Amino acid sequence: MLRTPSGGAVPGTAARDSGLMSIGTVLNVLRDEFPDITISKIRFLESEGLVEPQRTPSGYRKFSAQDVERLGHVLRMQRDHYLPLRVIREHLAAMERGEALPLPALGRQRDGEAVPELSEAPTAARIGRAELLAAAGIEEQELQEWESYGLIAPVGDGVYDAEAATVASLIAELGRFGIGPRHLRVMKAAADREAGLVDQVVAPLKRHRNPQTRAHAEARTKELAALTVKLHAALVQTALGVRLP
């Protein structure tokens, strides 16, 4: 079990039992404290080497209670201390060696409350091109090809949404079955249409003058996105006559 330099267990989700958990179960466990956690975020943290779940012979992830505690600690350091992944990785390594490594201060003070410096802002939602290549295990040429088909696009100069790592990994996995980027354009087009439908529904809320109503638009967008993803998956399973675990 990961422990603090003082010898105590890392604070986090209480261990369920000695059994292993699926990624869906881990998601439900962490959501009590981290409502915005997603399966994609867990996979991204895994790709960054911050947690190493076991794999079944069929390739499914299985997390131990210690893995869940570690994930909770990582998420807490991001949320409460605004630490980049590199610093979190170094901190965890030091803790495992039994070294005392205090966390950085939250930042400057304003009206008696800690305010993070801009340089310490959370970076998990954005990744660089090199990070994307490493996370997906692909080469520059492959990424360029996928970008030419519109499957992946940067949100800035060489910067990508963290979800791009999940998209790239899935494209690579499908490629092993002979499904290339040109075949996936129809899926991208369908996703864009679904996103357009959600945007159409929440657009009146986004334009509202009341800040609370505009904030509600974001929550409604997440809710609708989750429902459309579930419906899409169910429709594909129905069309193929299969049921996924």
CA nearest to 49, candidates 143, 165, 194:
165
Helix (H/G/I), strand (E/B), else coil: 109: strand
d(CA 228, CA 6): 46
Whether pLDDT at 40 is above 80: yes
d(CA 59, CA 67): 17
By residue range, what is the domain housing residue 214?
Answer: 182-245
Task: Report pTM.
Answer: 0.48
**Neighbouring-strand partners of residue 130:** none
> What tens digit of pLDDT does each residue of 223-239 get?
888 888 889 888 988 99
- If phi > 0 it is left, if psi is from -120 to 50 it is alpha, else beta; for residue 241 that is left
> What tens digit of pLDDT does each residue of 61-91 get?
999 999 999 999 999 888 877 677 777 888 8
Domain harbouring 42, CATH code: 1.10.1660.10
Burial of 6 (0-12, 13-18, 19+ CB in 10 A): exposed
What pLDDT, on a 0 to 100 scale, did the predictor assign at position 102?
Answer: 66
Residue ending a domain, choose from 97, 120, 143: 120
Residues 109 and 27 in one domain: yes
Residues 164 and 217 in one domain: no
- What are the start-end ranges of the H helices in the chain? 23-31, 39-47, 65-81, 85-96, 129-136, 140-148, 163-175, 181-206, 211-240
